[in-house]
Amino acid sequence: MSISTTVPAPNSKMNSESNTKKVMLSAVTPSNTLTLGNYLGALKNWVGFYENYDCYFFSVDLHALTARQDPKALLDHTLRALANYLAAGIDPKKAKLFIQSHVRQHAELSWILTCHAYMGELSRMTQFKDKSSKQGQNIGCGIFSYPILMAADILLYQTDLVPVGEDQKQHVELTRDLALRMNHLYDTELFKIPEPFIAPVGARIMSLQNPLAKMSKSDTDPNASIFLTDSNDQIVKKFKKAVTDSGTEITDDPAKPGVKNLLTIQSAITKKPIAELVEGYRGKMYGHLKLETAEMVVAEIGPIRDKSNQILSEQTELMKILREAAQAASVQAELTTTKVREALGLLSPAR
Ligand code: ATP
Ligand code: LTN
């Protein structure tokens, strides 16, 4: 499979047959407040090149149910994620921003795909292995079939490109396998075969407390992750406490994962190559690196936090955006599900 690490050339953004824009789609699970990892690995890339695509960006509330959620917190996180998308720079006139459960076809297609997926392929998903090992004896079925719902999200809209962080590559590969299987079984092009877009830098931001583990919004150590709700002071404090490595020299060395993580964060924000950043730190101490990284992060995500709070305080406008986008997304979703129902011998209901 070819993995895009550069944005496709402008002339490839059109579907040649229909002369319409290609489709870009992505989502974040509202299992907690979004982190700097979600921002640099996902959101920042969406913002970077969404304007030339027909875009679907949503908050996957049904995915969040794979772990027990406090209902009020789930609602807050679902809306805050969408406010973050807007605050990060996505124009709701140019992209559809909505809540997954508002488009019922996601759940419907997910069931149909479930009946075409294999236990073996799902048990090989590394995220399933990681997450199920933390759930003790009663492992939820949702955590097992989670990638199928993600495949439904993607395939419903005949998606071309899926910008995600490194950890989601395997799920997009499974999506491709399911799409190819269905197209072959029913001898018709039910689904487009999507490609992941993994940014060359920032696709895997590590925990500030354990630079060998991914920064994750469900990490129980509050100092491990920078949240998009953190105050400027909290951001600076967390970076000051960040685990670095033995030694004093600032180099791009796999044996210094803590230092490398801070350089990666800077590189993802400034777009400067890590080698150039390292040059600028010659003769400087880890303390400089931590403080300057904190300042860059404050400058990058501080305005997004403030704008998100403002959007959430005027919820009528947000609700209008979500309602209209869900209606528009439902039209495309229904076209795909009707095609699938016909191919499988399911009678579509009269509308
Ligand atoms: P959870 O802790 O609930 O599993 P998460 O923080 O891992 O959540 P997801 O909702 O699974 O985040 O991911 C949303 C998007 O952010 C995906 O595209 C994912 O690849 C990306 N992403 C998540 N964590 C990171 C990270 N540490 N670095 C870069 N990208 C990330
Ligand atoms: N599983 C993804 C979130 C997700 C997603 C999607 C990402 C759900 N549906 C569709 C891209 C496209 C995750 O990051 N945990």
Residue 325 — φ and ψ, nearest 5°?
A: -70, -40
- Which residue CA neighbors atom 15 of ligand 2 most closely? 29
Looking at residue 235, what DSSP letter applies?
A: H
Question: Could you write out the DSSP letters of every residue in 155-219?
Answer: HTTT-SEEE--GGGHHHHHHHHHHHHHHHHHTTS--S---EEE--SSSSSPBPSS-TTSB--TT-
Look at residue 295 and tell me whether its pLDDT is greater than 80: yes
pLDDT in tens, 66-101: 999 999 999 999 999 999 999 999 999 999 999 999
- Residue 328: other Cβ atoms inside 10 A: 14
Listed residue (328, 347, 324, 327) closest to 337, CA to CA? 347
Confidence bin at 58 (pLDDT 50/70/90): very high
In a domain, residue 175? The reply is yes
What distance in angstroms lies between residue 254's CA and the mean position of ligand 1's atoms?
22
> What average pLDDT does this structure show over 54-62?
97
Number of domains in the chain: 2
d(CA 80, CA 72): 12
- One domain for residues 191 and 87: yes
- One domain for residues 246 and 149: no
pLDDT in tens, 119-135: 999 999 999 988 888 87
In a domain, residue 116? The reply is yes
Quote the tokens at residue 125: 């998903």
pLDDT in tens, 190-227: 999 999 999 888 889 999 999 999 999 999 999 999 99
User: Is 131 tagged catalytic?
Assistant: yes
- Residue 16: other Cβ atoms inside 10 A: 9
- One domain for residues 186 and 109: yes
Q: Which of 14-28, 226-240, 258-272 has the lowest mean pLDDT?
A: 14-28
Among residues 131, 238, 260, 290, which one is catalytic?
131
Q: Which one of 56, 97, 153, 178 would you pick to mutate in the ligand 2 pocket, going by the greatest count of ligand atoms within 8 A of its CB?
A: 153
Q: Could you tell me the CATH number of the domain that includes residue 282?
A: 1.10.240.10
Looking at all shown ligands, the one closest to residue 30's CA atom is 1
In a domain, residue 17? The reply is no
Q: Could you tell me the CATH number of the domain that includes residue 59?
A: 3.40.50.620
- One domain for residues 188 and 261: no
pLDDT, position 247: 84
pLDDT in tens, 333-345: 999 999 999 999 9
Look at residue 5 and tell me whether its pLDDT is greater than 70: no
In a domain, residue 270? The reply is yes
In a domain, residue 220? The reply is no
- Which residue CA neighbors atom 1 of ligand 2 most closely? 150
pLDDT in tens, 149-163: 999 999 999 999 999
pLDDT in tens, 222-248: 999 999 999 999 999 999 999 998 888
Q: Is the CB of 61 under 6 A from ligand 2?
A: no
Please, is 335 exposed, middle or buried when counting C-beta atoms within 10 Å of its C-beta (0-12, 13-18, 19+)? middle
pLDDT, position 155: 98
Look at residue 10 and tell me whether its pLDDT is greater than 70: no
Look at residue 12 and tell me whether its pLDDT is greater than 80: no
Annotate 31-92 with three-state secondary structure: CCCCEHHHHHHHHHHHHHHCCCCEEEEEECHHHHCCCCCCHHHHHHHHHHHHHHHHHHCCCC
- Helix (H) or strand (E) run with residue 295 in it: helix 286-313
- One domain for residues 331 and 280: no
Atom of ligand 2 nearest to the CA of 60: 8
- One domain for residues 161 and 60: yes
Residues 343 and 190 sit within 8 Å (Cβ to Cβ): yes
- One domain for residues 261 and 335: no
pLDDT, position 351: 64
Residue 196 — φ and ψ, nearest 5°?
A: -80, 150
What distance in angstroms lies between residue 251's CA and the mean position of ligand 2's atoms?
34
Task: Sort residue 69 into left (φ over 0), alpha (ψ -120 to 50) or beta.
Answer: beta
Average pLDDT score over the chain: 92
d(CA 89, CA 49): 11
Look at residue 2 and tell me whether its pLDDT is greater than 50: no
- One domain for residues 146 and 247: no
Domain housing 281: 232-311
Look at residue 173 and tell me whether its pLDDT is greater than 70: yes
In single-letter form, the type of residue at position 163 comes to P
- One domain for residues 63 and 98: yes
- Which residue CA neighbors atom 11 of ligand 2 most closely? 26
